[in-house]
Structure 1
C-alpha cells in the first residue's frame, strides 16, 4: 500500500520550533492512543544536525487516519490564527530517502539532571532496604551522534519530560511506531521518508 503525508509549517519566525513540535506530537499521541493504533509516523523535513527546522510531517498508509488527524482542533485553531500552514495530503515521493527517527531514551541518561534523579532513586531504594547507598562511577566513552530534544507534557499526569530523537538511514520501509510516532531502539522499527524540500 502506498503512503501519504501532510506537513505543518510553523509560521512565526521567532517561534520555538521544539515547543511547537512537542505540541503537535502531543496531539498525535492523544489521537493514536484514542484509536489504539501505531501506524502514523513523524518526519521532520528540515531536520539538520544543528536544528529541527520549522516543519513537521505525519506519514501513514492510512489516508483516512491522516485526514482525521489533519482536522484536529488544535491544528485547525493554529491555522485559523495564522500560526500554522497545513499542506494537503500528498503521496510520498517514490525517490524519498527513508530514515528512522528514533526516540532514544538512553540519551537522556547522559545528562546530569537524569543522573542525579537516578542516583536519588537508588539511594531511596537502598534506604528502604536498610542499606547504605554507595554510587559507582562507570565512565562512558561511547560516541554520541547528533540528536534533538523536544519537550512534551504528559496528558495523563501533567509532568514535563523530553523526547530525545536521533535520525538514522533505514534499509526498508516499516510502518510500526510508538505512540509518539517514532521508532525505538528495540520494539518499534517504523521508518519515514525524509521529505526534504
Structure 2
C-alpha cells in the first residue's frame, strides 16, 4: 500500500473546507481517469476535528501520482497552503480503520428532516389526505463524525459528507474498492486504510 499526504499549513484555515476541496478533486479524477483504487484517511482525526492533513492511500503508485499532479494541489502548494509529500510506502505494522460516508446521519440533519417532511406531505396530498406531521424528538448519538462541505462539479450544489471513522473489523484484502469520494460505505465498498503514516 502507498500513500501521499497533504498537510494543511496555512495559519488560519478551515480544515473541513480544505478537506472537502481535496475530496472534490479526487472525485473528479475518479470520473475523468476511471481510478477507483484511492481511499482517504485523516491521520490526526479526533472528536473535535478531522485534523490538519488528509492522506490518499492506494495499492497503485501511478494512481497516486496522477492525483498529486492535479492543478489545485500544485497551486495550493505553490501558494503555501499545502505541503504535499512524495508517494511513499505505508507502514506495514499499522492498525487499520474505515472512513465511511454515513448517509443514515444525513436523514437526521435539519435539511434531511426537511426533505422527509416534504416527501411525506406530497405523498399525503397525492392520496387526497390532509398532511399532519407527527412531532417526535430523536435522540441520536453517532460518535466521531465530521461534516465535510463539498460542492458538486456538475450542479455546483453544496452538500455535506458525513464522515465517520470505524475501527478495523476485518483484515484488509487485496480487492479493496472505495467510493468516488475515497470513502467506504456501509455495504459493498470497503477500503481499509492505515491509522498511522
Q: CA deviation at 1:169?
A: 1.3
Question: Deviation string for 1:65-106 (max 9, x for gaps)?
Answer: 101100000000111111110011110101112000010011
Structure 2: gaps spanning 5 or more residues: none
Q: CA deviation at 1:45?
A: 1.0
Aligned length: 194
Matches within 5 A, 1:41-120: 41-120=39-118
Q: CA deviation at 1:157?
A: 0.9
Farther off after superposition, 108-117 or 44-53: 108-117
Query: Which residue of 17, 20, 32 corresponds with 1:19?
Result: 17
- Partner residue, 1:161: 159
What is the TM-score when the length of structure 1 is the normalising length?
A: 0.92
Alignment check: 8 A CA contact 2:100 2:163 kept: yes
Identify if the C-alpha distance between structure 1 residues 34 and 129 changes in structure 2 by more than 3 Å, giving closer, same or farther: farther
Cα separation, 2, equivalents of 1:6 and 1:195: 13
Q: CA deviation at 1:142?
A: 5.1
Give the SS at the match of 2:29: helix
Alignment check: 8 A CA contact 2:36 2:178 kept: yes
Identify if the C-alpha distance between structure 1 residues 137 and 188 changes in structure 2 by more than 3 Å, giving closer, same or farther: farther
Query: Which residue of 130, 133, 153 corresponds with 2:131?
Result: 133
Q: CA deviation at 1:156?
A: 1.2
Give the SS at the match of 1:67: helix
Cα separation, 2, equivalents of 1:80 and 1:141: 46
- Partner residue, 1:188: 189
What is the TM-score when the length of structure 2 is the normalising length?
A: 0.92
Structure 1: gaps spanning 5 or more residues: none
RMSD, aligned CA: 1.6
List structure 1 segments (4+ residues) > 6 angstroms apart after TM superposition: none
- Partner residue, 2:4: 6
Identify if the C-alpha distance between structure 1 residues 142 and 83 changes in structure 2 by more than 3 Å, giving closer, same or farther: closer
Question: Deviation string for 1:100-131 (max 9, x for gaps)?
Answer: 00100111112223212220232134324433
